[in-house]
Amino acid sequence: MRIKITKSLEHSVQASNRDNPPEDSFPAGEYLANLTPEGKIEVINAKKIKALFSFSQFREKISLGEFIVIEA
Q: How do the pLDDT tens digits run along the chain, 72 residues long? A: 999 999 888 755 555 445 555 555 788 999 999 999 999 999 988 877 888 999 999 999 999 999 999 998
pLDDT at residue 32, rounded to an integer:
94
Number of domains in the chain: 1
Domain that holds residue 43: 2-71
At residue 16, the pLDDT reads 47
Is the pTM higher than 0.85? The answer reads no
CB 51 within 8 A of CB 57: no
Check residue 20 and give its pLDDT.
53
How confident is the model at residue 12, as a pLDDT?
Answer: 52
Give the DSSP letter of residue 32: E
